[in-house]
Chains A and B, each alone.
Chain A
Amino acid sequence: MMRVLWGCVQSTVFRYSPRPLHAWRNLLLRMFGADLHPSARVYPRARVWAPWNLRMDARATIADDVDCYCVERVTLGEQAVVSQYSYLCGATHDFELPDRPLVPKPITIGAGTWIAADVFVAPGVTIGEQSVVGARSSVFTDLPAWKVCVGSPAKPVRDREIRSSADNGL
């Protein structure tokens, strides 16, 4: 029932809200039970399956065209970013049984982690804080903190270092 109601809201006032109105979309999601920090941003073309399963901390962002299939809890830590076209897949099916019942599993994305464009995140995955997942990667297993991970399946390739912007001559 809530899903139908949310579907109507999402395809109208949410979808066609002007891009800078993050506070408005934040409010809509919170009205449907999302646990959002007031500075969390969800862009208008993102699709959230069930806002009541979504939790976003301060400055966490979900970009346009992300499909957040949150049948189970999806948690984004502080300043975590999920870029365009990514797919947070929060449920699988038990393929051993002929009627394939739905098996929801939670997804946790640590603080400061950046999921780049068009990444697939499988059900039940936890990604550590401050990691980076490269574009078009597919994440099937848990990923550690402070790593740059790429590929299908995504694997850590090197440490992530954060320099201050002064190092870039800014």
Chain B
Amino acid sequence: MTAFIAPYLQSHRGIRSVMWSITACTIYKLIPSPAYRTRRLLLALFGAKLDPTARIRGGVRISAPWNLCMGRKSSIGEGATVWAHAPITIGARSVISQYCFVHSAKRVGDHEEPYPIAIGDDVWIAAESVIVGDVQVPNGVLVGARSLVRDPIEPWTIATGHPASSRRERPYRGHKS
């Protein structure tokens, strides 16, 4: 048993994962939803690169904070799941809504391999959507509720469906980044 656990605990990464899994189901879970700063501090302690204006709501499950990077005024909604096997980058003013599932891994053959996910600026991933694998969501994309993002999407478009594809251009009365 110890021979099985020891290599995990001896490596720096192993200790970090174990510490985080304990923290995630105790202190992290108990932080009230609007206490963004406390949550940010705790995640930063575990290596998350978060802008001071980034917001993560309560009930967000993050498997590996050290793989999460969030830009200015970006946010993650209540109850979302961020399975960060590989780096996940969220751009400025981008929003991941309630109950979304972001999984930075892809099934290759009979096993899962980590693949990074990059989300651009001004993106809105609406509620209960799923993002998997090796995808890049370009700037200004709006992904409709309950969509599955798996394939490439055009910038500044509205993408919906299962799997999601660009349906039409996104009207925007601001400066397009």
Binding site for B on A (CB under 8 A): 67, 69, 87, 89, 92-93, 95-98, 100, 120, 122, 138, 140, 152
Contact B146 A152 (CB under 8 A): yes
Number of A-B pairs, beta carbon distance below 8 Å: 41
Contacts of B127 in A (CB 8 A): 87, 89, 120
Contact A89 B145 (CB under 8 A): yes
Contacts of A120 in B (CB 8 A): 127-128, 145-146
Contact B146 A138 (CB under 8 A): yes
B172 at the A interface (CB under 8 A): yes
Report the minimal beta-carbon distance from A57 to chain B, rounded to whole angstroms.
27
Chain B, residue nearest A137 (CB): B146
Q: Tell me whether A96 and B128 are in contact in the complex, defined as CB-CB below 8 angstroms, given that A120-B146, A138-B145, A152-B146 are known contacts.
A: no
B29 at the A interface (CB under 8 A): no
Give the complex CA separation of A152 and B175 in angstroms: 33
Report the minimal beta-carbon distance from A116 to chain B, rounded to whole angstroms.
15
Which of B95, B144, B146, B173 lies in contact with A96, CB distance below 8 A?
A: B173
- A-B contacts, 20 of them at CB < 8 A, read A69-B98, A87-B98, A87-B99, A87-B128, A89-B127, A95-B124, A95-B142, A95-B170, A96-B171, A96-B172, A97-B173, A98-B93, A98-B122, A98-B172, A100-B95, A120-B127, A120-B128, A120-B145, A138-B145, A152-B146
Report the minimal beta-carbon distance from A150 to chain B, rounded to whole angstroms.
13
Report the minimal beta-carbon distance from B57 to chain A, rounded to whole angstroms.
13
Give the complex CA separation of A92 and B126 in angstroms: 9
Contacts of B171 in A (CB 8 A): 96
Interface size of B by CB at 8 A reads 20
Binding site for A on B (CB under 8 A): 93, 95, 98-99, 122, 124, 126-128, 142, 144-146, 162, 170-175
Which of B124, B170, B172 lies in contact with A93, CB distance below 8 A?
A: B124
Report the minimal beta-carbon distance from B37 to chain A, rounded to whole angstroms.
18
Report the minimal beta-carbon distance from A104 to chain B, rounded to whole angstroms.
14
Chain B, residue nearest A98 (CB): B174
Contacts of A69 in B (CB 8 A): 98
Give the complex CA separation of A98 and B174 in angstroms: 6
Supplied contacts A96-B172, A98-B93, A100-B124, 10 more A-B pairs, CB within 8 Å = A87-B98, A87-B99, A89-B145, A93-B124, A95-B170, A97-B173, A98-B175, A120-B145, A140-B144, A140-B145
Report the minimal beta-carbon distance from A168 to chain B, rounded to whole angstroms.
34
Contact A97 B174 (CB under 8 A): yes
Chain A, residue nearest B127 (CB): A89
Contacts of B126 in A (CB 8 A): 92
Give the complex CA separation of A72 and B86 in angstroms: 39
Contacts of B162 in A (CB 8 A): 152
Report the minimal beta-carbon distance from B24 to chain A, rounded to whole angstroms.
19
Contacts of B122 in A (CB 8 A): 98
